[in-house]
Structure 1
Amino acid sequence: MKKIYSLLAAIFTTALFAQVPNGFAYQAVAFNSSGNPVVNGPISLKISILDNSATGTNLYTETHSKTTNSKGLINLNIGQGTPVSGVFSGINWTANSKFVKVEMDAAGGSNYTNVGVNQLMSVPYAYVAKKMDLSSSDSSLGADLIENKSVNYVFTDKYDRKVYAFNSNTGTWVSQIYNVNYANNNYAVPDVTSTNGNFMFIDKYDRKVYVFNARTGAWVSQIYHINYLNSNFSTPALVPLSNGNLMFADKYDHKMYVFNYVSGNWSSQVFNGNYNSNGSTPVAVTSGSNVAFVDKYDHRVSVFNAKTMTWASQVFNINYYNNNMIIPDVTGSNGNFIFTDKYDRKVYVFNSKTGTWTGQVYNVNYLNNNFSVPATSSSETN
C-alpha cells in the first residue's frame, strides 16, 4: 500500500529577498500517512525550483533536515538549505513563472515522497490565513504563524524631537532628530506615514523628507526647496508606493523625487516648471512600485522603473498650429503605463519588464476630418 504524506504550507516571498534573492521563508505543517501531524519529530525535505510549469526544467534543488514542534509546524528558508543541484543566486526570477516542488520523508531519512508542486507567487497573508482558517480564536497553529510575521513600529518623542522606529528584523530602535521652530514657538509634531515596513515624515523647518528603510535599518533624507521670494513654505505631498517606495514633487527645484526601497537611495527627474506660472507641479501617476508624470512644457512623459532604478522618457507632440496644448492622459497597470499622442497618431506603452517605451501608429480619417483617438484597455498577465 502506498503511503501518502502531506504538507499544509504557507510561503512568504517577501521575507528575505534582496537585490539578488538569497532566500524566502517557508512554513508548513507536516502530516504522516495516517493524516496526523508529525509532532516533535525529525523530517527531511527536498525543495526544487522549477521553471515555467509544474513539470518544467529543474533550476535548483536543496535539502533540509528539520524537527517539527508540538503542532507539527516547521520553518525554513528556501535558498539556504544544503544544495543538491543548481545555484540559487543564479536563478533568473524575472524570466517565466517559477514553481516550488516539495518532497518529504516524514521519518527524517532520504526516502522522499512528492507532496506537491505550487506556483511561486507573492500571496497576501490574509488570503493564506483565510484558507487555513487561522482566524479562529482557539487556533494555536494560527498564533504560531502570526508570531512569525515581521511588524515594525514607530512613535514620536516631541520633547526630544525624535522619531523612533523599531525594526523587528534586527530587534533594534533607530531614531531620527527633527527640527522645530523655536522663533515662533511652533512645536508641531511631524506626521509619520508608512508603507511596507518603512516610515517617512517631513521636517518642514530643516526642509527635509526622512525615510526609515526597513531593509537597511537606517534613516535617509532628501532636501527639498521652498520659495523664499514669495514667503511660500508649503511642504511637498508624500505619495507612498507599493513595495515600500515613496515619491514627492519639489515644485521649486522642478524635480520629481523617488525613494527606492531596494537600493536605499533617492532618484530624481527634472521637469519644466513653466517659470511664468511660479513653479507648477506635474501630477504623478502610480502603478505598482513605478511612478510616471507628464511634463507638459517639455512635452514628455517620464517613468521611474523600480526594477532598473532608472528614469525613461517619451516625447509627445502638441498642436502648435492651433495653439492646442492638450496633455495626454497617462494610465498605469501592474507597473506599466500607456498614453495616446493624438497629433503624432501614436499609442505609447512603457513596459516595466524591458524598461522601454514602444509606440504604435494608428490611422485617422482626413477625408471626413475624423481625428478621434482610439480607446485603449488593459489585461494583466501573470
Structure 2
Amino acid sequence: MGDRIFEALAHPLRRRVLRHLGERPRMYSELMEELGVDSPTLAFHLKKLAGLVEKGDNGFYRLTDLGRKALEVMAVLEGAGQPQPRAEAEELTFSDRAILRLDKALLELAKREGRKIRVFDTAILEIDKDVPPELLYEVVEEIRDVAVVKVPKHLRAYVEPKARDVVLVTERGLLTSTLKLAVQLLGYLGPLKAFRRERRSLVEVYNGDFTHSGRVAVEMDGGRLKIVEGPNRVVARCEDPDDFDLSAGAISMEGCEVEIALSGVDALDLDVAGGYAAASLKLNNLKIDAAGGVVDLDLAMGRGSVSIEANGGAVSGRLSYAPFEGPSQLDVTVAGGVVNLLLELPPDVGISVQSSAAGGVVKTPEPRPGAKGVLNISVDVAGGAAKILTKH
C-alpha cells in the first residue's frame, strides 16, 4: 500500500489530481479544464492513480479510501500550513484532439501560472469570442498541424502569426455545425500521424505469433495500429524495443507501427491515448477508450456489447451486424471528442435509443420495433459530438 501511495505522490500532476478530487468528485472534462492538461496526459496519470481514484457509475471520478490516505500522507510530507516552493511552470500542451476549445478562463489560468499554451495534431481548434486579444497573443505560443482554426473576426490577426501548418483559419460564422465539420475532418489526423511516423527511424522489434483466448487488449500511446483478420500474428516496428510489449492476449505500444492479424477473437479492448488505429475484423464484443488520437472501424459484429468512450479522441466507422436474436448493446460516451458511426442492421432487428447531451451535439437513429433482435443504443455527450446513423 505504501509503495502505491508514494508512486502516486512522485509526480506533481498526480498530487494536484488528488487535491482536486479531495474537494469533491469531478467529471473527466472538469479535471482537464481545471488542471490545464490534455486528455492523453490526464488519462496516463489517472491510470497511475488506479486504486486511489475510481470512476463512479455516474461518470464522476472520486477518491477511494486509499486515495484519502494518500491525501493524509501528502499533508504530513508537506507540513500543515507550510508554503511549498513553486515548481517551474510547464507548458500546457494540447494534442491528438478531435475538437479543442480555448476560452477566456483557460487562458487566464495559464497566465496566472506563467504557462504558455501549445496546440498541435488537432482537427478543430475553436477560440471563444470573449477572449481578450492581448491575452490570446501573450499566452498562446504555437498552433501547429491543425486542420481548422475557428476564430472570431476580431481575433484572426492575433492567431495567424501563431499558426504553422494549419489547413484553414476561418471565422466561426462561415462554417456549418461543429458536428458536421468534425465528421468531415475525422480522416485528417490519421494521415497526419502516418506522415509523421514515416519520417522517424523505426526498427523491427517483433515479428511472430500471437496467442489469445478469445479476448485481446491493446494499449497504444501514439503511433499507428492496424488490426485485420488473419492468422494470429504481430509485426511491430519501434524506435526503441522498450516501446513495445507483448503477452498472451495483450499488447502495449508507444509511438510504434504495429500490424496485428487476428482470428477467433470474440472481444477486443482498445485503449488509445494518441495516434491512429484502424480495425477491420469480426467481433461480438468491443470496448474502446479513446482519450486521444483517431480510431477507424470496419467491423462485422455479432450479438454482444459495444462500449465506446471518446474523451478527447475521435472514433468513426462502420459496424455491420449479422442477424441475431435477443438484445445487443451499444453504449457511447463523449466528453470533448467525436463519435461518428454507421450501423448496418438486418431489417428484423429493432432499435431502442436513450440519449442525453450537456454542452454537446447528439444525432441518433429513430427507434423501431424488431421481429427478432433489438439493438439498445445509449448515448451520453458532455461536450463534443456523437453521430450515429443506420443503413438497412
Query: Which has the larger share of strand?
Result: 2
Q: Which has the larger radius of gyration?
A: 1
Q: Is the structural similarity TM-score above 0.5? A: no
After TM superposition, the score normalised by the length of structure 2 is: 0.31
Query: Which has the larger share of helix?
Result: 2
Higher relative contact order (CA 8 A, sep 6+): 2
After TM superposition, the score normalised by the length of structure 1 is: 0.31
